[in-house]
Amino acid sequence: MIRYENVGVQFGDFTAIPDLSLEVAKGEFFTLLGPSGCGKTTALRTLAGFVTPTRGDVYVDNKRVTHLPSDKRQVGMVFQNYALFPSMNVWENIAFGLKLRKHNRSERQKLVADVARRVDLTEEQLEKNPAELSGGQQQRVAIARALVLQPKILLLDEPLSNLDAKLRHQLRAQLKELQSEFGITTVYVTHDQDEALTMSDRIAVFNRGRVEQVGAPREIYDSSATEFVCTFIGAATSLSAELTPVLGLRPGLSSYLRLEKALLETEGSPLPVGYARFTGTVLAQAYHGTHTIYTVEVLGTELKILQREDGAARPEPGQTVEVGIHPRHVLSYAISDDHGQDAAAHAVRTTSAGA
């Protein structure tokens, strides 16, 4: 459906995107995830037609659109700040693009009413000014304004980042529902790992203009392809060089263990088969309601262990505990000698060392 083919984007001397190749399938909810400045918006704007690549091509439905003007690409875009027109009411905001396309008044009435219903905007809200609506409602107006033109593709650039945490969680679900209801191919930009994991069919993790991994959320989390992806997508303990040989791992690798993969042995629930056992000392605990995170000193590693609150173990700081680690859960990467400059090219995944 969407294809970036060796796309490069240059701003003066600065290379924002060196060489991007990526495919998005029809109907997919596809997320571009990465830290600030890694090129997510640039990649999205290239697809929308607001940025012309210095090299390479962009295809939509196998048609080359690299030099096609934005309004001919059938893409709808929702910006971070929504960019609603403050001098128009909600109805006029949504109808704006229809007017440009020379739809007559009665067609506009019908199409706006239609899309407003589908995104849950009431007639009363249609008559208000955008400033009189809440952040979440404004977002729905921005989405309605994009969808009313019946685009083939919906592009969303951090549409939730202006909202408070609770609303953001609510709207994630709402947005995802809307997307699957409309069945529209969506490219979503965020720097929020949790948002990417919960909403996406697939994720592309960006670092300095390059894609380090493309995959389903579970794949990205459980089988992170590079050290950058591993540490960006979720919390993980970096394992010491003292600990890794005991797990049968090759020396000279950076190794990580996700917090929920380490186990605390308790009376009545011994460690499962395949787990290596270590004796450690509890250094700290942090209660999070649904779970507690223990910091346990094990062979020079301050191992973080996420323990669900219904788990039996409740050790106190200072206490000695038995800890289990399965070598299969360890994520290991070759250490690059240029301090991660080119981690993607050097990283080798060797998780199966012990299994």
Handedness of CA 121, 125, 128, 130 (dihedral sign): negative
Considering only the stretches 39-47, 68-76, 196-204, 236-244, report the one whose residues sit in contact with ligand ATP under the rule CB under 6 A: 39-47
Structure tokens at 64: 């080359």
Considering only the stretches 5-13, 33-41, 200-208, 266-274, report the one whose residues sit in contact with Mg ion under the rule CB under 5 A: 33-41
Of 20, 22, 33, 38, the one binding ligand ATP by CB under 6 A: 38
Considering only the stretches 39-47, 119-127, 270-278, 305-313, report the one whose residues sit in contact with Mg ion under the rule CB under 5 A: 39-47
d(C-alpha 37, C-alpha 157), whole Å:
13
Considering only the stretches 40-48, 54-62, 85-93, 117-125, report the one whose residues sit in contact with Mg ion under the rule CB under 5 A: 40-48
Nearer to ligand ATP (CB atom), residue 162 or residue 350: 162
Residue with the CB atom nearest Mg ion in the bound state: 41
| Angle at alpha carbon of residue 189, lines to 223 and 191, rounded to 5° | 65
For 304-321, letters b (16+ CB in 10 Å) and e give bbbbeeeeebebeeeeeb
Nearer to ligand ATP (CB atom), residue 14 or residue 287: 14
Instruction: Tell the smallest beta-carbon distance from residue 83 to ligand ATP (Å).
Output: 15
- Closest by alpha carbon to 91, among 124, 138, 127? 127
Quick check: 75 and 146 in contact, CB under 8 A? no
Of 2, 24, 29, 42, the one binding ligand ATP by CB under 6 A: 42
Instruction: Tell the smallest beta-carbon distance from residue 55 to ligand ATP (Å).
Output: 16
Q: How far out from the chain centre does Cα 352 lie?
A: 26
- From the number of C-beta atoms within 10 Å of its C-beta (0-12, 13-18, 19+), residue 286 rates as exposed
Which listed option, Mg ion, ligand ATP, none, makes contact with residue 14 (CB within 5 to 8 Å by class)? ligand ATP
Instruction: Tell the smallest beta-carbon distance from residue 208 to ligand ATP (Å).
Output: 9
Q: Taking CB under 6 A as the rule, does residue 108 contact ligand ATP? A: no
Q: What is the 3-state secondary structure (H, E, C) of 154-175?
A: EEEECCCCCCCHHHHHHHHHHH
Residues 184-223 that bind ligand ATP (CB under 6 A): 191
d(C-alpha 97, C-alpha 118), whole Å:
18
- Closest by alpha carbon to 3, among 86, 62, 48? 62
Of 13, 14, 251, 308, the one binding ligand ATP by CB under 6 A: 14
Structure tokens at 347: 């990283």
Considering only the stretches 8-16, 21-29, 241-249, 314-322, report the one whose residues sit in contact with ligand ATP under the rule CB under 6 A: 8-16
Q: Taking CB under 5 A as the rule, does residue 41 contact Mg ion? A: yes
Q: Taking CB under 6 A as the rule, does residue 39 contact ligand ATP? A: yes
Considering only the stretches 40-48, 170-178, 246-254, 315-323, report the one whose residues sit in contact with ligand ATP under the rule CB under 6 A: 40-48
Instruction: Tell the smallest beta-carbon distance from residue 323 to ligand ATP (Å).
Output: 37
Task: Give the count of residues interacting with ligand ATP (CB under 6 A).
Answer: 12
Q: How far is CA 348 from CA 60, 133, 248, in A?
A: 33, 50, 17
Half-sphere exposure of 140 (CA within 13 A, CB side): 24
Of 10, 21, 26, 37, the one binding ligand ATP by CB under 6 A: 37
d(C-alpha 20, C-alpha 75), whole Å:
20
Enumerate binding residues for Mg ion (CB under 5 A). 41
Enumerate binding residues for ligand ATP (CB under 6 A). 11, 14, 16, 34, 36-42, 191
